[in-house]
Amino acid sequence: MQTMHLDRRQALKAIGLVAGGVVLNSACTQRVQRSVSGSTVGVSNHIRHLVPVNVAADREIRTVVGLRPFRPSGFVVRAESLGEKLLVHNYGHGGGGVTLSWGTAFLAAELVRESGKAGPVAVIGCGVIGLATARTLQRRGFDVTIYAKDMPPETTSNIAGASWSPTSVIDEDHRTAAWDAQFERAARFAHRSWQLLAGDEYAVRWREQYTLSDQDFGPNWDHEMLHDLFPASRNLDPSENPFPAKVVHVENTMFIEPSIYLNTLVRDFYIFGGRIRRIMFATPSQLATLSEPIIVNCTGLGARELFGDRELMPIKGQLTVLLPQPEVDYAMVGMGLYMFPRRDGIILGGTFERGVETMEPNPEAKQRILAGHQRIFGGMR
């Protein structure tokens, strides 16, 4: 099967919609200075080697599928009334849920503050959006209970690729000035919040990400708006490009390991007095029976049925995970594929199935992902 070549924007879009060879001589590229924790902190003029990923079928440890809650007109953060209760919506983040979680949680908490409503809060949903929203409200002094059908590690958030990449959250022709302002505010607040979590406790790390293309990169609106949030960003000179691609762009961004991060967030929520109740709501009228006067809806794709948001659609993402390879300390995006290294394995992805709701892995997609990564890493200089 022929591999589709994506431009930089398409490659980044593929990352955001994740659910998400043979070792050759290392290649030369620019050396980075690292802190004692291994985080990228700057770029020098020395040459370093990138170790190729060993993409072999017998190294697979799991293949997983996730459905991202996408709205063509972008995520929703707004307040309305539910009888005498305040109802705040915070859902529909597409592939940017992990990335934007602290930012839209801040926006939702601001709506609660502006309402003047007091009392305990019910947060509906225990994925990355629900947990960030619950912790944000706790920090503001609210007593919070989470009501959810699923908890980590059962949530869609647990199988996200989870790079800090605020893309694939809206169809570009649906953008408005008001939505752009909300998006930028959320993205910048979230970026600062993630920086403060960097380290082993929350499994948040800075890494170089190399984006591959066979043609020059065109502009994309989200990176232009937030260009300063991707430090040490540049195109590689041909002499230092180790990949089998004409153009390679390198930038520094943060990566999150969901299994560790979400467990730690649940721990924090409990430490600060939070409670979690396992329950599924079918109608808004059931929510109205809760004792809390403030309700925050963080149900993701569930809001399609619970609140009748027919604009919500699933985006199916599939990931194949290989045995960990600690010497691989960079990420790769391009040629319709992406690779993120984590302590729990090497994450390989590259699917974008809009409107597909099946949770069954696609064997053909897995083979394409493995073969494509074999070509890239097997072709490194």
**Which residue range is the domain that position 234 belongs to?**
8-63+208-252+315-378
| Count of structural domains, the chain | 2
pLDDT tens for 279-296 read: 999 999 999 999 999 999
What is the model's pLDDT at position 218? 76
The answer to the question of residue 191 being in a domain is no
- Output the domain CATH number for residue 101: 3.40.50.720
What is the model's pLDDT at position 172? 94
Task: Examine the domain organization and report whether 116 and 144 are in the same domain.
Answer: yes
pLDDT tens for 345-356 read: 999 999 989 999
Q: Region 102-106: what's the mean pLDDT?
A: 98
Least confident of 13-17, 109-113, 169-173: 13-17
Q: Give the separation between CA 319 and CA 105, rounded to whole angstroms.
A: 27
Task: Examine the domain organization and report whether 171 and 274 are in the same domain.
Answer: yes
pLDDT tens for 15-62 read: 444 433 323 333 333 333 333 333 333 444 445 689 999 999 999 999
Prediction pTM value: 0.87
Task: Examine the domain organization and report whether 322 and 346 are in the same domain.
Answer: yes
- Output the domain CATH number for residue 366: 3.30.9.10
Q: Region 332-351: what's the mean pLDDT?
A: 95
Of 291, 313, 335, which marks where a domain is finished? 313
Task: Examine the domain organization and report whether 26 and 126 are in the same domain.
Answer: no
Amino acid occupying residue 297: N
Of 298, 313, 328, which marks where a domain is finished? 313
**The pair of three-digit structure tokens given for residue 282, joined into one six-digit string:** 């079918």
What is the model's pLDDT at position 199? 97
Q: Region 357-364: what's the mean pLDDT?
A: 93
What is the model's pLDDT at position 47? 55
Q: Give the separation between CA 376 and CA 242, rounded to whole angstroms.
A: 10
Task: Examine the domain organization and report whether 288 and 170 are in the same domain.
Answer: yes
The answer to the question of residue 198 being in a domain is no
